[in-house]
Structure 1
Amino acid sequence: MDDISSRGTSGAVTPLPPGEIFAGTARYYARYRPPYPDELVDRVAALVRPDGRVCDLGSGPGTVAIALAGPGIPVVALDPNPDMLDVGRRAAAECGPGGSSGWSAIRIICRPRACTAWRGLRSRTPFTG
Structure 2
Amino acid sequence: MTETSSSASTPPSWPVQPGYREDLFRGTAEYYSRYRPAYPQPLFEDLLSRSGGGGLLVDLACGTGEIAIPLHERFTHVQAVDLEPDMIEVGRTKAVEVGADNIAWSIGRAEDLAVTEPAQLVTIGNAFHRLDRPLIAERASQWLAPGSCLAIFGSSTPWSGTESWQAVTVDVVARWSGESGRQAGASSATAASGDPAQRTHEDILREAGFVDVAEYRFATPHTWTMDEFIGFMWSTSYTAPIRESPSLTEGFERDLRAQLRECEPSGYLRESIAHYYILGRKPDA
TM-score strictly above 0.5: yes
1:84 aligned to 48, 68, 87, which one? 87
Given that residues 81 and 112 in structure 1 are in contact (C-alpha distance below 8 angstroms), is that contact kept between their aligned partners in structure 2? Answer: no
Work out whether 1:59 is the aligned partner of 2:62. Answer: yes
Letter in 1 for 2:66: T
- Counterpart for residue 109 of structure 2: 112
Shift of residue 72, structure 1, vs aligned partner: 4.2
Give a deviation string over 1:84-120, Cα, whole Å, max 9, x none: 1111000000013xxxxxx122111111362834432
Q: Which runs of 5+ in 2 are unaligned?
A: 1-12, 112-129, 138-207, 217-285
Shift of residue 125, structure 1, vs aligned partner: 4.2
Quote the RMSD (CA, aligned, Å). 2.7
Take 1:123 and 1:75, find their aligned partners in 2: how far apart are those partners?
24
Given that residues 54 and 74 in structure 1 are in contact (C-alpha distance below 8 angstroms), is that contact kept between their aligned partners in structure 2? Answer: yes
Provide the aligned length of Structure 1 versus Structure 2: 112
Question: Are the structure 2 counterparts of residues 78 and 119 from structure 1 closer, same or farther at C-alpha, using a change threshold of 3 Å?
Answer: farther
Question: Are the structure 2 counterparts of residues 86 and 126 from structure 1 closer, same or farther at C-alpha, using a change threshold of 3 Å?
Answer: farther
* DSSP 3-state at the match of 2:79: strand
* DSSP 3-state at the match of 2:93: helix
TM-score norm. by structure 2 comes to 0.35
Take 1:45 and 1:109, find their aligned partners in 2: how far apart are those partners?
24
Bigger relative contact order (CA 8 A; separation at least 6): 2
Higher strand proportion, which one?
2
Given that residues 56 and 78 in structure 1 are in contact (C-alpha distance below 8 angstroms), is that contact kept between their aligned partners in structure 2? Answer: yes
- Counterpart for residue 40 of structure 1: 43
TM-score norm. by structure 1 comes to 0.70
Give a deviation string over 1:22-68, Cα, whole Å, max 9, x none: 10000011000000000112223334455532211111000110000
Identity of aligned residues (%): 30
Q: Which runs of 5+ in 1 are unaligned?
A: 4-13, 97-102
Letter in 1 for 2:101: S
